[in-house]
Amino acid sequence: MVKVLVSDPIADKGLEILEEAGFDIVYNPNPSDDELQALVSDTNAWIVRSGTKITAELLKDARNLQVIGRAGVGVDNIDIKEATNQGVIVMNNPDGNTISAAEHTIAMMMALSRNIQLGHMGIVNGEWNRSNLVGNELKGKILGVVGLGRIGREVIKRAIGLEMKIMGYDPFVNQDVFDQETVTLVDLDTLTQESDYITLHMPLLDSTKHLFNAERITAMKSSARIINVARGGIIDEADLAQALNNDVIAGAAIDVFESEPLDMNSPLIKAKNILLTPHLGASTHEASEGVSFGICRQIRDFILDDKLSNPINMPITDMAQLKQIKPFLELAETLGKIEMQLAESPVKSVSVECFGNIEDSKPIALSFLIGLFHDMTDNRINFVNAGVIAEERGISFSHSLNTEPVSFANLIVAHISTDEGTIEVAGSVFGDQHPRIVDIMGYEVDVRPEGNMLFVQNKDVPGVIGKVGMLLGEGGVNIAEYLLSRTPNNDFAYSVIKFDGEINEDLLEKLKNVDEILTVKQLHV
């Protein structure tokens, strides 16, 4: 009999699904570490929320474990790497909390606008300060939505009902997804400067950490307010507190924090015009029931029908096949990372073409999408959900096998289309099984994509290499490789420069200001 361990509280509606499936359910919410270690040894499926920490040590003891189900979104409490190493599938349930988080956003925005918390505290303290608590209507105000995933779109639906004007920003979403008269997509700077309210709905990544710092907050209207029900760390808390206290902006409503529970010494505690809640975005009875029902149904469908829903990692089932195609998958993922960094505007379409001895283009193309979306979300992008994510963002996606003869035993040619034009990069796997970039925008190269690189397009005239080398040398940058490509009857050349360390923004600007240089991009692979 299939044994299912549930080590965090979940709704009865979810447990009923497991019971009806005939599983042996071990319901032990909030167990001790010793109890967990004893329970997991013969467990087939494991359901948790955020309370249970699934460590590498526990996973190594769980010899029969096939699948972990997280009732909710975040999987920080699960060692994903070790689960993958052990061949254990990890699923989450990202939809169950969507409505609750969106409604909490609207509630925070309205409470902030009408001074609800201050009014309540005043009455409790024996005050009647109506004149000091004059609020603002939402009708006609500009709401800037940063992050246009599921929750962001639900917030938009409700804001439209409030007759607000909507601006949106998401580097992975095109205007085609929305009616422009309803939602206008703009760059982040424009959204920051023109919005009356800004609400954040993106993951916490290296690229989004402290996205709203002193500089960006200062760029907001003095009458503007900011709401964060997404992830702590997107806003620099010290900078926000200082801005509020100095009346740089009119208010903030914060539900998530860099460290939770919030330290009572945090500058946010005593900041002016702030509304704080203890991470309540998903804390509704309906959300609790929804994620419980959803994850139990996913576990049931996987065990009984091998159906995968919302997997976080890729199950390893055929090691021989994995080893055979792994170099191609790694190459395709690298091409995706490179092209996303080369893109100057949102991606509209993706096309992946395979030549030579590659027999199936679909996993290659999905690997390319995994690389393309690498920095888009804090959830792992995988072979199952990569195509769905592309569709959600209005990105058309195609792949094909081409039998035309080429100069390589295998060749992957990847194109992305943006408003700025088409980007094409091609790669091959040589006999040493290492991926190589062999073509960039029609320029032949031969470079192993690794570490930090500069992609430089320049006029094909004497002296360019010398100028670039001199500037890099003056900046303390040691060049490891300098690869120059020229094409016949072309006035331009393309260079790939590999170097030690990292190039700072000042040095990049100096390179861009060289008269002969057309474009410079620093890439991290």
Catalytic residues: 231, 260, 279
Instruction: Give the separation between CA 456 and CA 208, rounded to whole angstroms.
Output: 27
- DSSP element (H, E) containing 323: helix 319-342
Residue 326: strand, helix, or coil: helix
CB 389 within 8 A of CB 442: no
CA dist 235 to 18, 67, 258, 274, Å? Answer: 41, 35, 9, 14
Query: What secondary structure letter does DSSP report for 62?
Result: -
Cβ–Cβ under 8 Å, residues 103 and 78: no
Exposed/middle/buried for 109, CB within 10 Å: 0-12, 13-18, 19+? buried
Strand order in the sheet with 479-486: 479-486, 492-499, 452-459, 517-524
DSSP string, 384-449: TTHHHHHHHTT-EEEEEEE-S--SSSEEEEEEEEETTEEEEEEEEE-TTS-EEEEEETTEEEEE--
- Residue 230, Cβ density class (10 Å: 0-12 exposed, 13-18 middle, ≥19 buried): buried
**Strand locations in 147-293, DSSP E?**
165-169, 183-185, 197-200, 225-228, 251-254, 274-276
Contact in structure between 235 and 262 (CB atoms under 8 Å): no
- How many Cα atoms sit within 13 Å of 281 on the Cβ side? 27
Residues 6+ apart with CB under 8 A from 471: 507, 510, 511, 514
User: What is 95-142 written as a DSSP string?
Assistant: TTTHHHHHHHHHHHHHHHHTTHHHHHHHHHTT---GGG------TTPE
What's the per-residue H, E or C state across 210-236?
A: CCECHHHHHCCCCCCEEEECCCCCCEC
Chain centroid offset of residue 170 CA: 11
